[in-house]
Structure 1
Amino acid sequence: MPAITVDDLTVLPRVSGPGLGDQPRPVWQVTTAPQGYEGEGFPVRRAFAGVDLRHLDPFIMMDQMGEVEYAPGEPKGTSWHPHRGFETVTYIIDGTFDHQDSHGGGGTITNGDTQWMTAGSGLLHIEAPPESLVASGGLFHGLQLWVNLPREAKLTTPRYQDLRSGEVALLASEDAGALVRVIAGEVAGHAGPGMTHTPMTMIHATVEPGARLDLPWNVDHNALVYVLAGAGTVGSPESAAVRMGQTAVLGAGDYITITADERQETRAPKLEVVVLGGRPIREPIAWAGPFVMNTRQEVIDAYEDFQKGRFGLPAGA
């Protein structure tokens, strides 16, 4: 699981521990992601299945793509498809993905890169492995997160952000036992490169066996911890056990506690988690397929606009 890493965590800025009077966030719920297939048949885990949308707000859904070792000829992607009313965030941990959209956005993202696409008023989009990966096969692992847009931004002009791994803010826990990658938002005064319409934070943390990460968290944001690999506990003073493919939903507080088990599996020697939080939008949601709007009529309008070609044409068409 390469993403981006550092050989010596002691050289990084530290995330200080809780201050006097700071309260830990308790765990409200732990869910296990069901497995399925998306696009042309690549395996996914539905990370937020079973979590009430009120607790996810401003997030809609998240898929863990892989981890899968493809044989030559097996790598798969998606066909051209529409989006409106939200943002897709694609974070590649291992492997390579090509992206294109009908507004001219796109590019190639690989280990530790993120593609942040604001669908806004509507576009067509395609995601696929490059021909070289299809020919050779190889390891593929990533995430796609859907972030809702508030009513006033639902029809904003589409935007594409190409966030390279080298732009991510890197921090270490207080005892240098955990690496924190800040992709968007801010942690302990250090900001990630992602520009967001909705105030939110997204990090990927790697916690060494037996180490503990106390992560300061915006009190106005909700908090979700998804386990990419490994096993450990979340929450304090009462902790909940979590393992690969599980999501912990946390309550209010000033910081999040994540601890890696002393013993990890050989194939997943460290605890890998994605931590998400955002300011809830608290607006009605009408969600059907690739459209996330506020009313049923707006979803009908989105389908009509798509069918009449108002989202543009596939690149090269």
Structure 2
Amino acid sequence: MSFFPGKDPEPGDACAVDSIETLIIPRTSDIGGLEVRRALPTAKRRLVGPFIFFDRMGPALLRPGEAVDVKPHPHIGLSTVTYLFDGRIRHRDSLGTEMVIAPGDLNLMTAGRGIVHSERSPEELRGNPLSISGLQTWLALPDALEEMAPAFDHTVSADLPVIHDRDFEARIIIGAPHGAGSPVTQYSETLYADIQIASGGRFLIPATAEERAIYILDGAVEISGETFPSDRLLAFRQGDEIIVSAERDAHIMLFGGAALSSKRYIWWNFVSSSKERIEQAKEEWRTGRFDIVPGDEEEFVPLPG
């Protein structure tokens, strides 16, 4: 989740596969019974294309009385991308949006010059065991759009194209890999896909995107004769075609896109090409100058000390 206070992930051991630039083993924190693994950013790898943040939530089964409760908190300079495999989360934001995210749906919330949102288990589902599993990623906005007006887009699962192949099934979340184009808005060239590789199957990652990586969700995959287990992020060298194969069923996320034209700074929930802009956002949140979230006005996450 976007408020996750855990430690930064660390690069893994040196990899023998020349086409893999970075191997990252995410750091894990427990937040109220929900295990969260953070794979980006790290000290050695800040971005993959526009992706500056990559969290895996769960899978977890919350006991009766437990729930996801991320209080209202601010963002600038980025888009949050929420994608669930299991469970439901109610999103509310300072634009007045209220939306329950279901598995397979895509929530794209673009902060631009500033937005506030909360993420909570739906009230009507509380009191029962709650399953939750999904990803939250952040896309840094390009220089010209960092201060755009905030926006929210929701795309239901049925509107995301799916490629069916003997070796794999790929749901295209953002971008157009393998020729299937997603309707989700792109503010810079972006690639994001949910890929299930069948036992004995393989998936080709073309060299078309400037920067590419995979996160292994379940199972193990093989690349150039080396095997990688689940919960590893592998970032690839530019210009190489990558063949990902699986002896048994495996589940991966493919992501990346064009590199940004300038450096990005990240502090708490703020992303910007300017340190001064982040300092301004900190002061605005501290002094209550961000908008409120209708329907969730009573609580908020204070600025970290």
Alpha-carbon spacing, 1:279–1:29, altered in 2? closer, same or farther (3 Å)? same
Deviation at 1:248, TM superposition (A): 0.7
- Indicate yes or no: 2:263 matched with 1:284: yes
SS in 1 for 2:71: coil
* Matching residue of 1:104: 96
- Of 28, 43, 47, which residue of structure 2 is paired with 1:35? 28
- Of 138, 141, 144, which residue of structure 2 is paired with 1:152? 144
- Indicate yes or no: 2:289 matched with 1:310: yes
Q: What letter matches 2:27 in structure 1? A: P
* Matching residue of 2:164: 172
**CA distances 1:56-91 after superposition (whole Å, capped 9, x unpaired):** 242111100001012211222301100011110000
Conservation of the 8 A alpha-carbon contact between 1:218 and 1:254: no
Q: What value does the CA root-mean-square deviation take over the aligned residues?
A: 2.0
**CA distances 1:163-191 after superposition (whole Å, capped 9, x unpaired):** 11101110023xx1210000110012210
* Matching residue of 1:187: 177
Aligned length: 280
Deviation at 1:133, TM superposition (A): 3.0
Q: What letter matches 1:260 in structure 2? A: A
* Matching residue of 2:8: none
Quote the Cα distance in structure 2 between the aligned partners of 1:106 and 1:281. 31
Q: What letter matches 2:254 in structure 1? A: V
Q: What letter matches 2:24 in structure 1? A: T
- Indicate yes or no: 2:243 matched with 1:257: yes
Quote the Cα distance in structure 1 between the aligned partners of 2:169 and 2:152. 27
Gaps of 5+ in 2: 1-16, 298-305
**Aligned positions of 1:1-317 closer than 5 A:** 26-38=19-31, 42-48=34-40, 50=42, 52-53=44-45, 56-173=48-165, 176-219=166-209, 221-234=210-223, 238-253=224-239, 255-262=241-248, 270-316=249-295, 317=297
Quote the Cα distance in structure 1 between the aligned partners of 2:63 and 2:277. 42
Conservation of the 8 A alpha-carbon contact between 2:62 and 2:129: yes
Q: What letter matches 1:34 in structure 2? A: R
Quote the Cα distance in structure 2 between the aligned partners of 1:115 and 1:134. 22
Deviation at 1:282, TM superposition (A): 3.1
Q: What letter matches 2:20 in structure 1? A: V
**CA distances 1:125-152 after superposition (whole Å, capped 9, x unpaired):** 1001112332111321000001101121
Deviation at 1:215, TM superposition (A): 3.2
Conservation of the 8 A alpha-carbon contact between 1:41 and 1:77: no
SS in 2 for 1:47: strand
Quote the Cα distance in structure 2 between the aligned partners of 1:148 and 1:53. 14
Conservation of the 8 A alpha-carbon contact between 1:207 and 1:260: yes
Quote the Cα distance in structure 1 between the aligned partners of 2:204 and 2:48. 22
SS in 1 for 2:184: coil
Deviation at 1:123, TM superposition (A): 1.1
Quote the Cα distance in structure 1 between the aligned partners of 2:99 and 2:285. 23
Conservation of the 8 A alpha-carbon contact between 1:55 and 1:222: no
The TM-score, its normalising length taken from structure 1, stands at 0.83
Deviation at 1:305, TM superposition (A): 2.1
Q: What letter matches 1:195 in structure 2? A: T
Deviation at 1:114, TM superposition (A): 1.2
Higher RCO structure, 1 or 2 (CA under 8 Å, sep 6+): 1
Percent identity (aligned): 27
The TM-score, its normalising length taken from structure 2, stands at 0.86
Tell me which moved more, 203-212 or 40-49: 40-49
Quote the Cα distance in structure 1 between the aligned partners of 2:43 and 2:168. 27
Deviation at 1:49, TM superposition (A): 5.4
Gaps of 5+ in 1: 1-23, 263-269
Q: What letter matches 1:130 in structure 2? A: P
Alpha-carbon spacing, 1:178–1:186, altered in 2? closer, same or farther (3 Å)? same
Deviation at 1:41, TM superposition (A): 6.0
Quote the Cα distance in structure 2 between the aligned partners of 1:133 and 1:256. 42
Q: What letter matches 2:237 in structure 1? A: G
Conservation of the 8 A alpha-carbon contact between 1:94 and 1:140: yes
Deviation at 1:55, TM superposition (A): 5.1
SS in 1 for 2:69: coil
